[in-house]
Structure formats: structure tokens, C-alpha cells
Amino acid sequence: MNEHIKTFSIVVITICVFIITVIDILKLLQDRNDRLNMSTTSSINSSSINNPVSDVAKPNANDISKQPFTTMQFAEMRYDFGKLKDGDVVKHGFTFTNTGSKPLIISEAHGSCGCTIPSYPKEPIPPGGKGQIEVQFDSKGRSGLQNKTVTVTANTDPSQTVLNISSNVDKKN
């Protein structure tokens, strides 16, 4: 009977050590994911970006972090081109408004792949002013459901806004 208690105790201790090890590993993975999430762009579900306003000097698109924060609001965050044929090139304009009290400076806009090409205003947008991010999608060599993103970097907080486009591309015969 005494041997059974010893064996049972060893099994329980081993299981406890195993569980503690698994918990520690999960904590490490969670910390790693949290750090990665802080450094990567995440989608914004709201069409409004609220930002604190601060005072700073002349706009410099190369260092957007030193610009006064403002707010911008897009009329839409997603656009579906619908059905396309392989080789179709389509465009859509995402209209936005500077809803803040400081000039809006867009320093960059880039697509998630070479088939998605955005263009954006290079000049500051005054408070109350409107602008447009035009997105061109080239369906050449693509087929099926396509979901692409355009990341817009501006003097807002957060500094990046993600726009989404989608389409369903039929392959050429």
C-alpha cells in the first residue's frame, strides 16, 4: 500500500510540474504575441480615428510622429469591386475628411501586394478639408476571392489606418 502512495505522489507531482511548465510557455507565447501586435498594423473597425491634439511646428512628411495629431474620418473603410475578369484593372476612391483642428498630413499609403496601388494627396489637408485615397487593383493573374488592404500613415493616433478592397476574379479561358 505504501508503494502505491509513493507512486501516486510521484505521478501527481509530475503532472503538476508539467502543468506549471505549460502555463509558463503559454505566458511566454502571449507576451511574444502582445509585443508583435504592438509593432504590426492592425485593422481599424471604426471609420473614425480620434486623436489628441498637440502643438508642433512645420509639417515634415518624413517624420510624421513629430506632427500635431488630428483626426480623419473615411466615408467608408471597405469597397467590393464585385465580379471581375482576370486582367481587369479597376479603381476606387476612398473619400475622407479632416475632422480635427490641425492640418492632416498623409506620409504614406501602400498596398498589401503589387496588384494594389494607392495614390494619396501629398499636400496637407486643412481642418474640415476633404481628400481621397485612390486605389487601383489589377486582377491580372488572380482568380477567386481577393481581399487586399491599403495602409494609410498620417499624423493621427493610431498613425495607421487600414482600408480594405475585395473582388471575385473569374479566370480567363
Local structure of residue 126 (DSSP, 8 states): P
Residue 94 has a pLDDT of: 99
Q: Please indicate, yes or no, whether residues 121 and 84 belong to a single structural domain of this protein.
A: yes
Beta bridge partners of 151: 110, 162
Residue 42 has a pLDDT of: 40
Residue 169 has pLDDT above 70, yes or no: yes
Strand order in the sheet with 130-138: 48-49, 72-74, 89-98, 130-138, 116-119
d(CA 90, CA 2): 79
Mean pLDDT of 5-34: 79
Q: Please indicate, yes or no, whether residues 99 and 75 belong to a single structural domain of this protein.
A: yes
Residue 62 has a pLDDT of: 52
Q: Please indicate, yes or no, whether residues 73 and 150 belong to a single structural domain of this protein.
A: yes
Q: Please indicate, yes or no, whether residues 74 and 106 belong to a single structural domain of this protein.
A: yes
| Inter-CA distances, 140 with 61, 83, 88, 148, Å | 33, 13, 7, 14
* CATH number of the domain where residue 89 is located: 2.60.40.10
Q: Residues 105, 61: contact at Cβ < 8 Å? A: yes
Q: State what percent of residues in the chain have pLDDT above 70.
A: 79
88 vs 58 pLDDT, higher one: 88
Instruction: Look at the alpha carbons of 145, 150, 156, 158 in this order and tell me if their dihedral is positive or negative.
Output: positive
Q: Please indicate, yes or no, whether residues 93 and 165 belong to a single structural domain of this protein.
A: yes
Residue 78 has a pLDDT of: 98
Confidence class for position 65, pLDDT limits 50, 70, 90: low
Mean pLDDT of 146-153: 98
Domain count, the chain: 2
Q: Please indicate, yes or no, whether residues 74 and 159 belong to a single structural domain of this protein.
A: yes
Q: Please indicate, yes or no, whether residues 96 and 128 belong to a single structural domain of this protein.
A: yes
Residue 3 has a pLDDT of: 84
Residue with cell 482576370: 86
Mean pLDDT of the residues in the chain: 83
Q: Which domain holds residue 27?
A: 1-40
Q: Please indicate, yes or no, whether residues 154 and 98 belong to a single structural domain of this protein.
A: yes
Residue 10 has pLDDT above 70, yes or no: yes
Confidence class for position 36, pLDDT limits 50, 70, 90: low
Mean pLDDT of 9-14: 86
How confident is the model over 106-138, as pLDDT tens digits? 999 999 999 999 999 999 999 999 999 999 999
45 vs 30 pLDDT, higher one: 30
